[in-house]
Chain A
């Protein structure tokens, strides 16, 4: 992770180095681009084609979507499809719900998993090994095993503790993943690599444990924190089966679930379905393109270590 910056340096320094870059060399590069473009362009075309069809279809009239062979361009872009789709289902509401749920889960994981991960990494307390082992065991168990009791627990919480945590409320989407074993494990592993001498010096000066964590350890752990944030955000945003089980009311649905019910009621209106699809895809796409570096590094980091 620490060396990830170095491979980009040669690529960058290649451009502001005109001393070596003779005129001839430049012309050579311009006239004969690498033959690899002939491989890379078709690959990109195939991978991006579904996105292209999504957008094109979302801008056609209903009659235009019912042609064979299909039109590959929108003759006159029908922007009104988006207005119609947004009118037919509360997509903005779905989006707000998704964002609220995902953000609370991310913040919850960053705070709770940092504190717990720090304790597992640095503090010696009775039962530490046993508790840590039990938490890690949950990583092995597929969601299908736990989902039925989780449903019953959420139902019970809604009736006996607080209705906002119960079936058909956003709290039921947030609470079960507010802290994850993955987050604790990943952060603990990272904290173990932070030099303990720094912390000891601060402890001597009378800083509390929490103070050490927040003022010294966490600022050194930004790569690990961004990884946990990226992974939990992707998971929360794309979650489908759990919301499908616990949410029934349209106004409490997240984007994936809302889009599914929209699909159910606009079965063959492909122009509206694709408009809804594009609309629901854009926020995540923007987040991904802006933070691509973090997402890619996070997936690579968890993949190669996990």
Chain B
């Protein structure tokens, strides 16, 4: 009532709608509610539901989902396939993340200069960003094809024995590393090149006048100034590596002999092939915790050597 008297007299209608549209609370909620509704239903609700599901038995079809307590979680340590999946995920991440960062840094450093046609070279490096995981997987399956593939032809040409690649349990995971490094090169180059262009030239010139060697300048001046980009890439690539799925599904379906079964592939298999959705939800929560812990450690360790140039 008190607010009604303070309403400006210029307002022609003083109905409830008019008053609501003048209230920041109402306008604010009206503005955010469509987005909040969608993210609430498809982002927040599933987080809680998934937690509930991890204490239940569900096959995604029957509406009854009996409560099984901690059984799903207790099952995890004894699951030999899941242990393999963790092992493969760790090996994959440990190879993929540093390889992609190194490739990205070397190429970005090579691209960070004024040469004729540099924009063409840059486009050549960026263009893998346009390639979807299925495009990437299909072409690498062909390059690494055991009988007619060009990689085996290359080995043959230099007198090395041909390999079975994706059909060999000892090699398949490394082929997947190679294809994903190629697929992420464009992304890593963009990040490092943007960071390199932010490194002030005068610092490098000063060191150069003082007689420092090129590599010394890079190691002691440029690389430390790139550390925010390095930390970002380490975190971002690790999060994506721990969630590897597309390439495995497309090339090997976790085989041969489980050699490329990684955590998310196993999770998908449990939920949508074996219909153990409750167990899969428990696995997802374990993965979530692992990602949080690893990201936290990376930021803690990273902050010790990151220089923020502001």
Contacts and interface: CB of A to CB of B under 8 A. Distances in A.
Interface stretch (B68-76, B185-193, B211-219, B297-305): B185-193
B200 interface: no
Given A148-B277, A304-B228, A143 B44 contact: no
Interface in B161-193: 182, 185, 187, 190-191, 193
Contact of B250 (A33, A112, A119, A260): A260
A125 B44 contact: no
B245 A50 contact: no
Given A115-B34, A125-B24, 5 more contacts: A123-B31, A150-B42, A179-B34, A281-B130, A303-B229
Nearest to B65: A152
29 contacts: A10-B114, A34-B115, A40-B121, A54-B139, A68-B153, A70-B150, A116-B32, A116-B36, A135-B43, A138-B43, A141-B43, A142-B243, A144-B288, A145-B47, A145-B50, A145-B284, A148-B46, A149-B49, A176-B38, A176-B42, A184-B39, A245-B272, A256-B134, A259-B134, A274-B138, A288-B129, A303-B232, A303-B233, A304-B228
Interface in A231-264: 234, 237-238, 240-241, 244-245, 255-256, 259-260, 263
Most buried by B among A123, A234, A263, A287: A123
B281 A148 contact: yes
Contacts, number: 278
Interface in A43-67: 43-44, 47-48, 50-51, 53-54, 57, 65-67
A124 B24 contact: yes
Contacts of B249: 240, 244
Interface residues of B, number: 98
Interface residues of A, number: 97
9 shortest interchain CB distances as A-B pairs? A125-B28, A119-B31, A149-B46, A146-B46, A69-B153, A288-B130, A300-B194, A149-B49, A179-B35
Interface of A: 7, 10-11, 33-34, 36-37, 39-40, 43-44, 47-48, 50-51, 53-54, 57, 65-70, 72, 112-113, 115-116, 118-120, 123-126, 128, 131, 134-135, 137-138, 140-153, 175-181, 184, 208-209, 234, 237-238, 240-241, 244-245, 255-256, 259-260, 263, 270, 273-274, 277, 280-281, 284-285, 287-289, 292, 295-296, 299-300, 303-304, 306
A145 B285 contact: yes
* A interface majority secondary structure: helix
Contacts of A295: 126, 129
